[in-house]
Amino acid sequence: MTRRTVQEEQARLRKKRQKARGFFSIFKKPMHESLTSVLPIMLIVLALGFTIAPVPNNAMMAFLLGGVLLIGGMGLFTLGSEMSMIPLGQAVGSEITRSKKVWVIVGISFLIGIIITVAEPDLQVLANQVPAIENNVIIWSVAVGVGVFLVIALLRILLGIPLSYLLIGFYAVVFTLAMFVSPDFWAIAFDSGGVTTGPMTVPFIMALGVGVSAVRNDKHAGGDSFGLVALCSIGPILTVLLLGLLYKPDGSSYTPVTVPDAQDTVEMFRSYTHALPEYFKEILLSLAPIAGFFLIFQLLTRRLNRRQIMSMAVGFLYTYLGLVLFLTGVNVGFMAVGNFLGSSIASLDCNWVLIPIAMVIGYFIVAAEPAVHILNRQVEEITAGSIPAGAMNLALSLGVAVSLGLAMIRVLTGISIMWFLLPGYALSLALSFVVPKIFTSIAFDSGGVASGPMTATFLLPFAMGACDAVGGNVVTDAFGVVAMVAMTPLVTIQLLGASSTWLPQPWPRWKRSSSWHRRKRNETTVFDDHHHQPGGGLRTICGFLPGLRRAGGVHGPGPGHRQRRCAELSGPGGH
């Protein structure tokens, strides 16, 4: 082999290694995020299993294997949704508003709401839990409810209607209607609002809001791009309450979750391999309507080029594989262990320890929700880092910790869920008048996002096992965990926004630099829209423009447009 041939071969191998490193590097960040999210909850369960709540060997093996699938599945889902669901949502949002025809916006929004709701895997779990109502009835009724409220949410963005007014009106209707419905439906109805806004729905809906808000030319458009999940969560609650007027509870008994009966690791592995085909089919049926909508959208608009189509196709594949692994792990491994732990701890003489243990689990488990990472990334992007992911995670974790503590108090005492929901929502709606508007939108979105598959498949069985052990009514006392998890972040995230307005903020080092003063000339405040104080707020940003450029799709606005928009938003007093 000549010297030139050797050099060419070495160059070819170096290029091949660089390409391989580039391919694997795209998985590094999402896998690291999923590992750091799932590992704490696994360590907590292991600590409980080795101390106060011994877990059978077969259940522990199922849990550990489920944890591995959870980590891999969440990483793939996060990567896939960034490549497929979010770009598709932004492109659809921009396209339907470009037509400027109300009937097009209403019709397509309603259709999208039904498609993504029927595609939500957690809705199947909810349908099996509602007493006396057939699965298809609840699924399609809830889907219609989400479709109607998605239309309302998009029209709100276009018309600039304050979110707080709509929330007060609709929740007044919800609690008034609940007075005429059997208490057996209360917890399940409010649970449905959180369950239906899961990992399939949230990325698409949030991106749709960004795309629609891109046509607005005012400084509040960035904040108004949030709030879609909040309104879409109300639809299922109203739907289930309306069905509660037509159907009567049939007294269905609670069937406890069984621990996988495996004698060794081979049998345990088979329990997963037998479950995988079921979830491959379920997620395929869930993603098929969205993929079909994508194909029809591309054929009609020709908006995306070939490279973007290939990227989104790969993203759909990652999303598919990620959800299959994630749901297999939580349903086979986590659900049984959650039920067993709840039952074991509630059977102790000092069963009050259930409250602090549940709070610790709640603090860490919210980070394992796939859609939470999507929400935090979207918030950080839209606000250009002014609301950092760390602050969002802390507020969500504290909120879910409080909600789990209150839920366990309900399990141990049998207090009605309305004694918690009424004051909680009243406080949340009252805070919406005294905090920056963008925090209200993000807070009510985060409530639906935090109550995802980990809540439905680990925390709910945990509460069911505890309730069964103390002899409570599972339908009225254990159900409602999802509703509690969806409620408390409304308060904690708005308090985060209130702290930015009420408390004196230290001047960070970067604010004193000359580069900051140069940037400030073309910036405007996005939070302090009705409580602006000099030096107040978290940080000033150029409205929603970081998201606007991406929302514009292939032909979106460029850097020059961004500079002009900053000047427009700043106005005469912007310098």
**Residue 9 pLDDT > 70:** no
Q: Looking at the predicted structure, is the pLDDT value of residue 512 above 60? A: no
State the pLDDT confidence band at 568, using cuts at 50, 70 and 90. very low
- Widest distance between CA atoms in the chain: 89
CA 177, 179, 184, 186 torsion-angle sign: positive
Q: What is the DSSP letter of 334?
A: I
What pLDDT, on a 0 to 100 scale, did the predictor assign at position 418? 93
d(CA 392, CA 442): 10
Distance separating alpha carbons of residues 65 and 5, to the nearest angstrom? 48
pTM: 0.74
For residue 560, pLDDT beyond 60: no
Q: Which of 130, 124, 417, 146 is nearest to 246 (CA)?
A: 130
Q: Give residue 272's pLDDT.
A: 85
C-alpha R_g of the chain = 24
Local confidence band at 530 (pLDDT 50, 70, 90 cut-offs): very low
Which of 217 and 332 is assigned the larger pLDDT? 332
Residue 130: the pLDDT is 60
pLDDT per residue over 11-26, tens digit each?
A: 666 666 666 555 567 8
Tens-digit pLDDT profile for residues 80-103: 888 888 888 888 888 887 777 778
Query: Which residues are CB-contacts of 432 (< 8 A; sequence separation ≥ 6)?
Result: 163, 164, 167, 440, 494
Q: What's the confidence (pLDDT) of residue 403?
A: 93
What is the distance between the alpha carbons of residues 294 and 88, in angstroms, rounded to a whole number? 7
User: Is a pLDDT exceeding 70 seen at residue 220?
Assistant: no
> Among candidates 356, 292, 342, which has minimal Cα distance to 466?
342
DSSP codes joined into one string, 276-301: HHHHHHHHHHHHHHHHHHHHHHHHHH
pLDDT at 531: 38
Interatomic CA distance for residues 527 and 500, integer angstroms: 9
Residue 250 gets which letter from DSSP?
-
Specify the pLDDT at position 289: 84
Query: Is the pLDDT assigned to residue 518 strictly greater than 90?
Result: no
| pLDDT value at residue 99 | 73
Q: What is the pLDDT of residue 546?
A: 34
Q: For residue 291, what pLDDT is reported?
A: 86
Alpha-carbon dihedral sign for residues 240, 246, 248, 250: negative
Please state, rounded to an integer, the average pLDDT across all residues of the chain.
77
574 or 344: which leads in pLDDT: 344
> What is the separation of C-alpha 209 from the centre of its chain, rounded to a whole number of angstroms?
14
Give the integer Cα–Cα distance in Å for 125 and 196: 10
Find the range with the poorest average confidence among 15-24, 130-139, 351-360, 506-515: 506-515
> What is the phi-psi region of residue 107: left when phi exceeds 0, alpha when psi lies from -120 to 50, beta otherwise?
alpha
* Weakest mean pLDDT among 108-122, 158-172, 472-486: 108-122
Q: Which residue blocks in 180-264 are alpha helix, DSSP H?
A: 186-195, 202-213, 221-224, 228-246
Specify the pLDDT at position 19.
62
Predicted local confidence at residue 167, as pLDDT: 92
Q: What is the pLDDT of residue 345?
A: 92
